[in-house]
Amino acid sequence: MLNKVVKQLSVATATVGLVTLGATFAHIQTANAAAIRSGFNSNTAVRPYKSNL
**Residue pLDDT tens, the chain, 53 long:** 788 888 888 888 989 888 898 888 888 888 878 877 776 554 555 555 555 55
List, as one string, the DSSP characters of 1-53.
Answer: -HHHHHHHHHHHHHHHHHHHHHHHHHHHHHHHHHHHHTT--HHHHHHHHHHH-
Domain positions in the chain:
15-52
